[in-house]
């Protein structure tokens, strides 16, 4: 069995080690007067360096409790809640890492909102993304073990079930499909306003900016790829390559192929769209909810949340089942 298939056995150890190492680094930085953790002070928000170090160090103990014998004497619900809480805080702190990665690919550097180099904040967000992913895996494995289920597949089965069987291709439940379709349609107001701006309608873009038709076409192509990814998570052809993929037709789609980009995109887009929508509704950002800023918030936030819901459904539907091998069968 490859190491990544044994994730349930090492995720807690990895999460505890990563949180302890990062927490110690942040604690030393705080003692030396560092007050720019995640760049929040630049936004006029209170310093979170000390709270961040505390959460990481406490989280390392929580992660250890998910895998160490002494953790079995603690209430399972409290341990799981602590692990999920650290995972959520870490992922929220890393939510802008996608924008940094896009900027890095396009320009070769990472800057803050003032245009200054911002590699430290980028590294902080990247580390938090890793910590959040590890704590998510550790919390999931602990919750399944506490419920008497298999940590790998999340189901109850005999111990000799060491083989794996992948489920047959099938679509997501109707409610998940409707959420996905709504997420696809969330881009329509944004694209419509951009097209009107390119057509010369005044007052659409802020600052008198007028997009060109090639820019609008590029946006449509990008939205098309985003819609393709979202629909693949809820349709059967997202589990097995369809006939139009030629030599790949009929083969099972590796789970990481859609899920890896999804879990990079979904948190950033959902939190960015929601946060910007709240600011726009309060009159603190752009031209309010009825302008291009509100349309962008609807597009990115709606698509991001729909992507997250579809991804959870896809993970559950494609999760391999543990089955008894021929050698272990009676």
Three-state helix/strand/coil letters over the chain:
CCHHHHHHHHHHHHHHHHHHHHHHHHHHHHHCCCCCHHHCHHHCCCCCHHHHHHHHHHHHHHHHHCCCHHHHHCCHHHHHHHHHHHHHHHHHHCCCHHHHHHHHHHHCCCECCCCCECHHHHHHHHHHHHHHHHHHHHHHHHHHHHCCCCCCCCCCCCCCCCEEECCCCCCCCHHHHHHHHHHHHCCHHHHHHHHHHHCCCCCCCHHHCCCCHHHHHHHHHHHHHHHHHHHHHHCHHHCECCHHHHHHCCCECCCHHHHHHHHHHHHHHHHHHHHHHHHHHCCCCCCCCCCHHHHHHHHHHHHHHHHHHHHHHHHHHHCCEEECCCCCCC
Q: Residue 152 above 60 pLDDT?
A: yes
For the ranges 112-126, 176-190, 274-288, 312-326, the lowest mean pLDDT is seen at 274-288
Q: Residue 285 — pLDDT band, cuts 50, 70, 90?
A: low
Q: Residue 209 above 60 pLDDT?
A: yes
Question: What mean pLDDT value characterizes the chain?
Answer: 86
Query: What token pair was written down for 14?
Result: 């990895």
Give the model's pLDDT for residue 291: 76
As a whole number, mean pLDDT of residues 157-179 equals 84
Q: Report d(CA 63, CA 244) in Å as an integer.
A: 45
Q: Which of 58-72, 104-118, 272-286 has the highest mean pLDDT?
A: 58-72
Q: Report d(CA 217, CA 212) in Å as an integer.
A: 9
Question: Residues 288, 292, 296, CA angle at the centre, nearest 5°?
Answer: 95
Q: Report d(CA 117, CA 110) in Å as an integer.
A: 6
Q: pLDDT per residue over 12-26, tens digit each?
A: 999 999 999 999 999
Q: Residue 60 above 90 pLDDT?
A: yes
Q: Which of 210-214, 234-238, 260-264, 326-330 has the highest mean pLDDT?
A: 234-238
Closest alpha carbon to 187 in 227, 234, 232, 231: 227
| pTM listed for this prediction | 0.77
Q: Residue 81 above 60 pLDDT?
A: yes
Q: pLDDT per residue over 28-47, tens digit each?
A: 999 999 988 988 877 677 88
Q: pLDDT per residue over 86-135, tens digit each?
A: 999 998 888 778 788 878 877 888 888 778 888 999 999 999 999 999 99
Q: Residue 263 — pLDDT band, cuts 50, 70, 90?
A: confident
Q: Report d(CA 31, CA 11) in Å as an integer.
A: 30
As a whole number, mean pLDDT of residues 166-189 equals 94
Q: Which of 162-166, 183-187, 216-220 has the highest mean pLDDT?
A: 183-187
Q: Residue 328 — pLDDT band, cuts 50, 70, 90?
A: very low
Q: Which residue has the higher pLDDT, 54 or 293?
A: 54
């Amino acid at each position: 069995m490859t190491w990544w298939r044994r994730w349930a056995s090492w995720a807690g150890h990895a999460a505890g080690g990563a949180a302890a190492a990062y927490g110690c680094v942040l604690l030393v930085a705080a003692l030396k007067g560092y007050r720019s953790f995640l760049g929040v002070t630049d936004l006029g928000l209170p310093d979170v360096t000390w709270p961040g170090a505390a959460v990481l160090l406490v989280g390392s103990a929580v992660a250890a409790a998910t895998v160490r014998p002494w953790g079995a004497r603690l209430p399972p619900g409290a341990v799981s809640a602590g692990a999920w809480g650290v995972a959520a805080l870490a992922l929220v702190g890393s939510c802008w890492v996608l924008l940094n990665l896009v900027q890095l690919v396009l320009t070769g550097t990472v800057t803050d909102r003032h245009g200054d180099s911002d590699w430290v904040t980028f590294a902080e967000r990247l580390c938090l993304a890793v910590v959040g992913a590890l704590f998510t895996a550790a919390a999931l494995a602990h919750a399944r073990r506490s419920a008497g289920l298999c940590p790998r597949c999340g189901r109850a089965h005999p111990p000799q079930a060491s083989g794996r069987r992948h489920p047959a291709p099938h679509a997501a439940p109707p409610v998940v499909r409707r959420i996905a379709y709504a997420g696809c349609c969330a881009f329509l107001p944004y694209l419509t306003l951009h097209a009107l701006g390119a057509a010369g309608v005044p007052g659409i873009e802020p600052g008198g900016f007028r997009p060109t038709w090639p820019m609008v076409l590029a946006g449509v192509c990008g939205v098309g790829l985003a819609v393709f990814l979202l629909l693949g998570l809820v349709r059967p052809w997202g589990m097995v390559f369809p006939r139009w993929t030629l030599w790949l037709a009929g083969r099972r789609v590796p789970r990481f192929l859609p899920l890896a980009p999804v879990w990079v995109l979904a948190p950033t887009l959902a939190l960015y769209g929601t946060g910007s929508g709240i600011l726009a509704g309060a009159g603190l950002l752009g031209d309010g909810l009825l302008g291009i800023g509100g349309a962008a918030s609807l597009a990115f936030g709606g698509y991001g949340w729909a992507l997250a819901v579809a991804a959870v459904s896809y993970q559950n539907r494609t999760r391999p089942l543990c089955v008894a091998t021929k050698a272990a069968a009676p």
